[in-house]
Amino acid sequence: MARKMGFFAILAYVLFGFLVYWYLFYIADSTLPFEFQGSSADPATFLNSRELMLSEEYSQIRNLLFFLATPLEWLIYFLILLTGLSKAFKNWSDETTKNKYGRVGIYVFWLSLFAYMATFPLSYISYHLSKTYNISTQTFASWMKDELIDFWVNFGMMVVIVGVLYWLINRSRRFWWLFAWMLSIPFTLFIMFVQPVVIDPLYNDFYPLKNKELEAKILDLAAQAEIPAEHVFEVDMAEKTNALNAYVTGIGSNSRIVLWDTTLNRLNDNQILFIMAHEMAHYVEKHLYIGIAGYLLLSLIGLYLIHKIMNWAISRWGKEFKVSGMGDIRSLPLFFILLSMLAFAASPFSNFVSRYQEARADSYAIEMTDNPEAAITAFQELTKAGLSQVNPPLLVKLFRYGHPTMLERISRIEDYEIQKRNEEGMSP
């Protein structure tokens, strides 16, 4: 039975891959609607023919890798259950130490290591793709360093989470999901608080913005928005990527506005001020806290569903999974499968909310800076630097885009510009 289940799981993944490839390369339509051709949102107006070709190729392959990556994780964890590897990891941990917390750490290490090695080829292909299309400038050694940091940071957090999770399951079979959710609230806030000062510096160097004239302009914008900012941080990313970015991270006294140095190198002051005003809008409209509340709500629903589905699945296929019950740590791969599946299923909804917030931030920024040309050219440069599709296919937008498409963002600013021009023409 286990061998049959494994065969059909592999077959389903292969068929899924072919369907995704067929959709992205033969069905999906990313052409610009006729009414936008020749507008500022038309990539033909700011990309040359080679850049147009490369952006389409790169986006198609990158989207394919995205849709293959998450189901591949499901397949790997499923095969770990069916082949008895999860049972082997548990036996190795039992043979290594008698300390129950040490056993959790050893089990999680072997599970994490095997999953990492199994998904490494796809991760490397993604890295090589970005190098080939000149998005990434990172050496293989630097990339591997970041990969290893990722592995150990995730492993450290996972040992704590898994240890607490299975302690709760064994203490309260009926309500562990509720207690786990309650504990996740302070844990999530703690991680968000320490991330800017503990986790992020493991990957890159952060320092106050060197251009003090530009910093003064940004802080003046912050003062207008009544944001208590003292510094703007820049991060050294040019050695890793040609892409552009800026973001807000952290909460409370550790919150930061961060600019990549690639953004500073490629955009002028007016374009950067528009981007900064966009990031400030997230602070003003409390999008970060709304996002945390939404995440916690979804996690509550998700943990309850995992509780129900895991009980059902183990009662039906526990023998094939070689799992005795939910409190058996050998069931952890099943927990990861369900968690990932629910997160993937919820991503269109969470992305929709995120796109709404990003559109609000764009509107705030254009009202604040009142410079449509800077906003439009900034978005054009972002598109060019990342070889992004201006009008991605529908499924790509639903599952990948936490921001409005560049077509939507640029056309919205053009509408603002036309409206403003009309209002000025009507004024006496």
Residue 415 CB neighbour total at 10 angstroms: 11
| Whole-angstrom distance, CA of residue 96 vs CA of residue 86 | 16
Q: Are 84 and 37 in contact (CB under 8 A)?
A: no
Q: Phi first, then psi: what are they for 247, rounded to 5°?
A: -160, 165
Q: Note if 146 is an active site residue.
A: no
Among 73, 200, 234, 279, the active-site one is 279
Any known ligand binding at 282?
Answer: yes
The DSSP output letter for 208 is E
The residue annotated as part of the active site, out of 362, 367, 423, 424, is: 362
Q: At CA 43, angle to CA 40 and CA 45, rounded to 5?
A: 60
For 237, 257, 273, 369, the CA distances from 215, given in Å and listed in that order, are 19, 11, 10, 16
How does strand 256-260 pair with strand 233-235?
parallel
Phi-psi region at 328: left, alpha or beta (left = phi > 0; alpha = psi -120 to 50): beta
DSSP conformational letter for 104:
H
Tell whether 307 is in a known binding site. Answer: no
Cα dihedral sign for 237, 241, 246, 251? negative
Q: Name every residue whose Cβ is closer than 8 Å to that of residue 357 and which is 6 or more positions away in sequence.
A: 282, 285, 287, 290, 291
- Is 279 catalytic? The answer is yes
Count the neighbouring beta carbons within 10 Å of the beta carbon of residue 71: 18
What is the gyration radius of the CA atoms in the chain, in angstroms?
A: 24
Contacts of 2 (CB under 8 A, 6+ apart): 82, 83, 320
SS3 label, residue 391: coil
Residue 25 contacts by C-beta under 8 Å, 6 or more apart in sequence?
60, 64
Binding-site residues sit at: 278, 282, 358
Binding-site residues for Zn(2+) sit at: 278, 282, 358
Catalytic residues: 279, 362
